[in-house]
């Protein structure tokens, strides 16, 4: 393990399709609940995919000091404000009278903002061509320009959630955003840990936020044939590792963690919830929307994280497995699930079938840039609660998908160390390793 400063998690928060508190979401995860339902954000009746995992009953005003300050904030920013407030409160940073806010930074994996779709569609329904299953770009842009004022234009920028969080919590330390597709928040957390280890901050508020549940987002992923077009109960649409899987279900939301240098946390009396001990990142250098077929890129990220954590993935000589649980990227596309399985086998060899792994995307959908953060939080809750969330809708594993995917029902387990994977379009692969905190 590295001798550099230890980084611990002292707070967590999320806004998800399964709820807006740690306890509520965890309860749904271990009971194999589902956040999938018909899309209500816009009329999707003519789209190939008519369902998604939307955040319901969320009022961001309850999480901020003054809602008027964030009146122009986009939906992705509002999700981040709620998740960050939960993480901030659990960390009890407001109790620290001498907190140096210039030493508190931000690093998000935040997706671009979107327009108020309902108002937009009032003037732009003609932009959608059901027969071509496409959006007329010229009409879309013309209509969008009619609706946007200066602030709405600015709010489309991916770094706007950071600006709002900085103002809300009055922090002036390092501030960064990355948008590496579905790996973004995993990368953000890994890079935020490195900022702390380099001595550039004492605390980093990190994670991700995103929504793509709008006509352009759904159209784009439909054209890529990445979204499920399941004809039936939306709750059964996301089927990672199953032979009948047909794509992912679009989700939305935010996951935020408070990362802190261990000695700083202990000095102010904070309670470490877990420790981040490994981070790895690689690029496939392959096709933009495809993963290296042999899983070498994903394996490289995992091996880098394991090396940083001081873990030999092939060693079980002590009787314990090197990793107790893998939070799979597990999108439910034909390609991803097969190649991720191949990569896990490449890294862990003969031990791979003994290591449980599951995909919470089967229950809350794919939160795109925010996916990694909510999956890391899930790992920490698995460690603290001694229970593994299941992969819902896994009834008949596909040929070659022969690992332990914790099908359909949660499982009690002694969880000490978890590995969390996320892979993004463009060939981005990122892995985090989190472990139970120990003095």
Active site residues per annotation: 182, 329, 366
Reduced 3-state DSSP string for the chain: CCCCCCEEEEEEEEEECCECCHHHHHHHHHCCCCCCEECCCCCCCCCCCCEEECCCCCCHHHHCCCHHHHCCCCHHHHHHHHHHHHHHHHHCHHHCCCCCHHHEEEEEEECCCCCCHHHHHHHHHHHEECCCCEECHHHHHHHHHHHCCHHHHHCCCCCHHHHHHHHHHCCCCCEEEECCHHHHHHHHHHHHHHHHHCCCCCEEEEEEEEECCCHHHHHHHHHCCCECCCCCCHHHCCCCCECCCCCECEEEEEEEEEEEEHHHHHHCCCCCCEEEEEEEEEECCCCCCCCCCCCHHHHHHHHHHHHHHCCCCCCCCCCCCCCCEEECCCCCCHHHHHHHHHHHHHHHHHHHHHCCEECCHHHHCECHHHHHHHHHHHHHHHHHHCEECCECCCCCECCCCCCCCCECCCEECCCCEEEEEEEECCCEEEEEEEECCCC
| Dihedral, CA of residue 186, residue 94, residue 155 and residue 70, to nearest 10 | 150
**Tokens for 27?**
């309860």
**Tokens for 191?**
């890079």
């Amino acid at each position: 393990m590295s001798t550099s400063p230890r980084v611990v998690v002292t707070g967590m928060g999320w806004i998800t399709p399964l709820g807006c508190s740690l306890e509520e979401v965890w309860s749904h995860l271990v009971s194999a609940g589902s956040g999938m339902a018909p899309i209500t954000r816009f009329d999707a009746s003519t789209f190939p995919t008519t369902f998604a995992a939307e955040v319901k009953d969320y009022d961001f005003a309850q999480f901020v000091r003054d809602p008027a300050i964030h009146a122009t904030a986009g939906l992705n920013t509002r999700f981040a404000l709620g998740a960050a407030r939960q993480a901030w409160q659990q960390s009890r940073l407001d109790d620290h009278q001498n907190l140096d806010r210039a030493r508190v930074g931000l690093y998000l994996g935040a997706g671009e903002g979107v327009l108020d779709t309902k108002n937009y569609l009032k003037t732009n329904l003609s932009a959608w061509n059901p027969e071509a299953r496409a959006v007329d770009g010229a009409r879309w842009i013309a209509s969008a320009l009619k609706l946007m004022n200066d602030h709405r234009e600015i709010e489309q920028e991916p770094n706007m959630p950071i600006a709002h969080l900085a103002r809300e919590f009055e922090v002036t330390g390092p501030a960064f955003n990355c948008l590496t597709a579905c790996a973004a928040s995993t990368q953000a957390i890994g890079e935020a840990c490195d900022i702390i280890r380099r001595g550039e901050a004492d605390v980093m508020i990190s994670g991700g936020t995103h929504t793509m549940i709008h006509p352009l987002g759904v159209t784009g992923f439909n054209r890529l044939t990445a979204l499920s077009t399941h004809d039936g109960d939306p709750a059964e649409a996301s089927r990672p590792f199953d032979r009948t899987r047909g794509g992912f279900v679009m989700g939305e939301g935010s996951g935020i963690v408070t990362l802190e240098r261990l000695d700083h946390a202990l000095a102010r009396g904070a309670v470490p919830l877990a420790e981040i001990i490994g981070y790895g990142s690689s690029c496939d250098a392959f096709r933009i929307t495809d993963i290296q077929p042999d899983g070498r890129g994903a394996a490289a990220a995992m091996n880098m994280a394991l090396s940083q954590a001081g873990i030999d993935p092939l060693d079980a000589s002590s009787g314990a497995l090197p990793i107790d649980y893998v939070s799979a990227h597990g999108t439910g596309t034909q390609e991803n699930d097969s190649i991720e399985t191949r990569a896990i086998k490449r890294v862990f060899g003969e031990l791979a079938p003994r290591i449980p792994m599951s995909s919470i995307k089967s229950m809350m959908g794919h939160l795109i840039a925010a996916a990694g953060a909510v999956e890391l939080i899930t790992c920490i809750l698995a460690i603290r609660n001694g229970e593994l969330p299941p992969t819902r809708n896994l009834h008949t594993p596909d040929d070659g998908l022969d690992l332990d995917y914790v099908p359909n029902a949660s499982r009690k387990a002694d969880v000490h160390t978890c590995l969390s994977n996320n892979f993004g379009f463009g060939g981005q692969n990122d892995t985090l390793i989190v472990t139970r905190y120990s003095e």
